[in-house]
């Protein structure tokens, strides 16, 4: 049972435009949501997070939106840059227990010049 | 400051062999985790630890064992390697109330 889903395996965006990555979840007990970025042959790196009591969090070019009623979150990157080309993982934390994260399958973002 | 260090980076095992994947962190983090990443499947939690001497199973623990004798080290043991354990393994650490894990660079394991 996939509790966190990223239904788009890949996304291609032109440099300078907006990239929108989507994530859906099924477990109402998640209290925190995160996005990680991963380059080839490296470990994932933390990008941005949002608490379940908020609907938006912004950090520079990156904004995460949370729609609790739809159990959906999205990551917006504006403007997209070539260095943003990577795999992006959505993750969610359950309220109980050791800050374990449940990850989505990942979306490979390619920024074209 | 090295962060989270994983060794080896690559390994090929034969079916039935055993090995230990090493993970060490120098940030004095209480919480440590082992995940595996299979193509198109995201990261799945194998084992985790909230401190020295305390470990617990994650989502996919079968075929693995861990120990946590010190705060710094969290090795993952494969006793009888199987082809289904071919994967990329990531170790991560954090502290309470900090949601941003620090990940190691991974170990790519192939079982043939």
Instruction: Write out pLDDT tens, residues A86-95.
Output: 999 999 998 7
Q: What is the pLDDT of residue A94?
A: 81
Do you find a cis peptide bond into A51, omega within 30 degrees of 0?
no
Q: What is the pLDDT of residue B1?
A: 64
Distance from A28 to chain B by nearest Cα, in Å? Answer: 18
Q: What are phi and psi of B83, to 5 degrees?
A: -55, -30
Is pLDDT larger for residue A106 or for residue B96? Answer: A106
Q: What is the pLDDT of residue B2?
A: 78
Q: What is the pLDDT of residue B85?
A: 97
Q: Answer whether A2's CB lies under 8 Å from A92's CB.
A: no
Average of pLDDT values for A19-23? 98
* Percent above pLDDT 90 for chain A: 88
Q: Does residue B50 sit at the A interface (CB-CB below 8 Å)?
A: yes
Q: Does residue A83 sit at the B interface (CB-CB below 8 Å)?
A: no
What are the chain B neighbours of A45 within 8 Å (beta carbons)? 103
Question: Which residue of chain A comes nearest to B51, CA vs CA?
Answer: A98
- Mutation pick from A98, A104, A105 vs chain B, by most beta carbons of B within 10 Å, is A98
Quick one: pLDDT band at residue A98, thresholds 50, 70, 90? confident
SS3 B84: helix
Res A9 pLDDT > 90:
yes
Q: What is the pLDDT of residue B100?
A: 84
Instruction: Compute the distance between CA of residue A92 and CA of residue A41 in angstroms, rounded to an integer.
Output: 23
Instruction: Compute the distance between CA of residue A103 and CA of residue A39 in angstroms, rounded to an integer.
Output: 16
SS3 A92: strand
Q: Residues of chain B whose pLDDT is less than 70? A: 1
Instruction: Compute the distance between CA of residue A76 and CA of residue A23 in angstroms, rounded to an integer.
Output: 12
Q: Does residue A104 sit at the B interface (CB-CB below 8 Å)?
A: yes
Instruction: Compute the distance between CA of residue A47 and CA of residue B44 in angstroms, rounded to an integer.
Output: 19
């Amino acid at each position: 049972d996939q509790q966190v889903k990223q239904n788009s395996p890949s996304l291609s965006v032109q440099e300078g435009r907006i990239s929108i990555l989507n994530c859906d979840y099924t477990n109402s007990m998640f209290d925190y949501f995160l996005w990680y970025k991963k380059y080839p042959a490296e470990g994932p790196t933390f990008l941005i997070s949002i608490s379940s009591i908020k609907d938006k969090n912004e950090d520079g070019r990156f904004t995460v939106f949370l729609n609790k009623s739809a159990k959906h979150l999205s990551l917006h990157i504006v403007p997209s840059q070539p260095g943003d080309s990577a795999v992006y993982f959505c993750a969610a934390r359950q309220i109980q227990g050791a800050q374990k994260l449940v990850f989505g399958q990942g979306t490979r973002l390619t920024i074209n010049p | 400051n090295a962060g989270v260090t994983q060794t080896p980076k690559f390994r090929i095992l034969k079916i039935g062999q055993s090995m230990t994947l090493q993970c060490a962190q120098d940030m004095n983090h209480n919480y440590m985790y082992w995940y595996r990443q299979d193509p198109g499947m995201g990261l799945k939690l194998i084992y985790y630890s909230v401190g020295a001497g305390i470990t617990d199973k994650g989502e996919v623990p079968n075929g693995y064992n861990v120990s946590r004798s010190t705060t710094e080290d969290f090795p993952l043991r494969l006793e009888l390697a199987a082809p289904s354990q071919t994967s990329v393994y990531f170790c991560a650490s954090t502290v309470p109330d900090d949601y941003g894990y620090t990940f190691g660079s991974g170990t790519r394991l192939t079982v043939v």
